[in-house]
Every structure is written in C-alpha cells, then in structure tokens.
Structure 1
Amino acid sequence: MVIAAVDPNKKDLAKLVRYLRMVFHGCEVVMFSDPAFAEQYIKDNPIDVLFTEIPMLGLTGLRLQVKCEAVQPGVLTVFTTATDTYVGEALKSRAHGYIIKPVTREAIRESLNDTKYSSRQQGGI
C-alpha cells in the first residue's frame, strides 16, 4: 500500500507520517509539505490512499482530491484538519474519512477500518 500524506505544517506532517507507519506497518508513505509537489507526484506515481490537510496555500486538500481522482480513480481520501468547518464539503466530495486534529493512531486506524486497507490486513498495530 502506498499512502501520500500532505500537510504544510511540518510538525503535523511528521506526526501523521509516524502514526501511519505505526498503524500500517510496512506500507510506503510519501510525504509532502507543498501540495503542488504532491499533485505532481500523484500524476506520475500510483497511490492507494491520500491523507491531506484541507486549507493550504495554492491548492486546497479538496482540490487535490479532485485532481487525484482525475488521474487515479478509486484512491481513498482522508482529510486531516483542525476544525469541522469543511465536513460538508468533504461529504460532498465522497471523502472516505475526516480526522480533526490532533491526529491519533486510533483515528487513522478507524478511518480505513472498513476497507481493504484495514490495519489488521496490513499487519499494523
């Protein structure tokens, strides 16, 4: 499984990546603090899951999800953000999950529990 993690806040990004690697042991996690770099990577490389912040300069997480789905239909998106402000938009976008920060291992695990990427199936904790 390949997970792309996107967050301009480098501390939040580092924590997210650390937890993703704990929960989904052995998965490949690519991380980006700049959503434009994430967009380019996603155009050229297959991913399975996108974990992204929503408010970002230049390219929002909602827009990144649309661009990702255009080139990789079926990629699951989980939004990670500080407020519930974007819940309505996330639901309309058919996001698979919405985690309000601070991100926890349990929230990450639950966000993909009902999918083929469940941590139980990926050998995580």
Structure 2
Amino acid sequence: MEQLRRLWPELKLVAECEDGASALEQLAETQPDIAFLDIRMPGISGIEVARSLSELSPRTQVVFVTAYDQYAIDAFEQGAMDYLLKPVSDERLLATRERILSRLPSTRQDDAVLERLLQRLGPSQGAAERPPLAWITASNGRETQLIMLEDVAYFRADNKYTTVVTAAGESLLRTPLRELLEVLDPQHFRQIHRSTIVNMKAVAAVSRDDTGRGVLRLRGRTETLVVSQPFMSLFRGM
C-alpha cells in the first residue's frame, strides 16, 4: 500500500482488510471505486470476493494482486480491470493507475477526489468512450491463454481466425481483424495491411524493398512485415 500511496497520492484509501470476510463487509459498506484484491486471502479468496461484487458493490472496479500467475484466467472471467504479479514494479503500477483513470465514470464528478483524477485524462478522452482492451484470451492447442496486449507484436489474419504473435509464440483468436480494430487502442495498434495489425511499440525500423513496398523490421524478431501503400503515411518521418 505504501507503493500505491507514493505513486497515486490523490487516491483516497477507505479501508484495508486482512481477510476475505472483512473485505466483503467493507466493500458493501464503503462502495469504493476501486478494490485491490489479493487472490490468496484467509477464508474467502479474492476471486470469491470479486464474484460477490455484482450485488454488494456493482460499480467497483477490481484489480487483482498476487504472486501466482495461474489465476489469471479466473481473474479475467470475473471482469478484472487488471492483474498484477508480485513484486509489482512502479512502471507496471503506474500503467494500472492510468487504466483505472480511463474507466472512472463521469457521473460522480462532484466528488472532489474524482474530479482531480479525471483531470488527468485530458479533453480527448471522453467518459462515454469505451476504454481500450488490456487483455485478450486466445487458444494454443487445448490451452486458453490470457495475453496482455502490450506483449503482442502483431495480429495476422489467418483464414477464419486471427493469429496473435508475441515473444512467447503464436495463438489463435476467433475475432476477425476488423472487429479487433474497434477495440484496440489506436495509439498503439495500427493496421498496416488488410491482413495485419501491428503494435507500434514493436516497430524498430521502416524501409522500402526493391519493388517500393514498405517493410517493417520488428524489435527482437527476425521476420519482417509488409506495409500496404495506403498505410505508408503512418511512417512518414520515421
């Protein structure tokens, strides 16, 4: 909690709990905007607490904090805003803070604390906008994986599926590229070809081949990606 207070001094702490039962009591009483839940708590687990929130405190956003990554799928199924693995770095916690700020509803702007938080969003991020995805679920054989979008290098259309490419390998999505474009953060993910969406953070360099086509070289990867002519304007000045 000291790390959270240091990185987010505007945040008002309303309760700290040692076990799941007291967490449920405090959530019902205080109705907080955000709950940071440890998954392994004495008695009632953090996952079970989150399942009860739809009745106890439906407006509360949940961030799970744990030392165990095997609970990620369960956390995602409970609608978790984020999933933090201990030890949590300052950079990772700051990213969670920004994600929370983008989800705080505007209907409570009369609260002084929330007004200060919402000012950080800037005028371009209206409260009515749907926040970009943070996680996706994809298949790899019989295994369902939870993939953080910041780890994705690119998406590639593959017949009726979409292939998700990360440093860890490739997985399959049933979501077509056109639907992904509607929910991905446009500041980070751009379409460069009718069959490819790239994470701009993964781009190391752009050039043209002998035929004049645009070619992207990616950080830490050997393959290159072709850029269709209509999308070359994205890379002017690089």
TM range (shorter): 0.7 to 0.9
Query: Which residue of structure 2 aligns with residue 45 of structure 1?
Result: 30
Question: Which structure is higher in helix share?
Answer: 1
SS of corresponding position for 1:113: helix
Indicate whether 1:73 and 2:55 are aligned.
no
2: distance between equivalents of 1:28 and 1:114? 17
Query: Which residue of structure 2 aligns with residue 21 of structure 1?
Result: 5
Query: Which residue of structure 2 aligns with residue 3 of structure 1?
Result: none
Q: TM-score, normalised by structure 2?
A: 0.41
Return the letter of the residue paired with 2:36: F
Query: Which residue of structure 2 aligns with residue 93 of structure 1?
Result: 78
Per-residue CA distance 1:5-37 (angstroms, 9 max, x = gap): xxxxxxxxxxxx111111221322221112211
Q: Is the 8 A contact 2:81 2:100 kept in 1?
A: no
Per-residue CA distance 1:101-121 (angstroms, 9 max, x = gap): 012332222123234368xx6
Q: Alignment partner for residue 96 of structure 2, among 111, 121, 124?
A: 111
**Taking CA–CA contacts closer than 8 Å with sequence separation of 6 or more, which of the two structures ends up with the larger relative contact order?**
1
Q: Is the 8 A contact 1:54 1:80 kept in 2?
A: yes
Query: Which residue of structure 2 aligns with residue 5 of structure 1?
Result: none
1: distance between equivalents of 2:8 and 2:92? 13
Choose 1 or 2 for highest CA Rg.
2
Query: Which residue of structure 1 aligns with residue 173 of structure 2?
Result: none
Q: Alignment partner for residue 60 of structure 1, among 30, 45, 50?
A: 45
1: distance between equivalents of 2:65 and 2:10? 22
2: distance between equivalents of 1:67 and 1:46? 13
How many positions carry a matched residue from both structures?
A: 106
Q: TM-score, normalised by structure 1?
A: 0.73
Per-residue CA distance 1:42-101 (angstroms, 9 max, x = gap): 111120101111122210101111222322213111111002110111111110000110
Quick one: percent identity of the two aligned structures? 24
**Inter-CA distance 85–47: structure 2 relative to 1 (3 Å threshold):** same
2: distance between equivalents of 1:26 and 1:117? 15
Q: CA RMSD in A?
A: 2.2
2: distance between equivalents of 1:69 and 1:106? 30
SS of corresponding position for 2:31: coil
Question: Which structure is higher in strand share?
Answer: 2
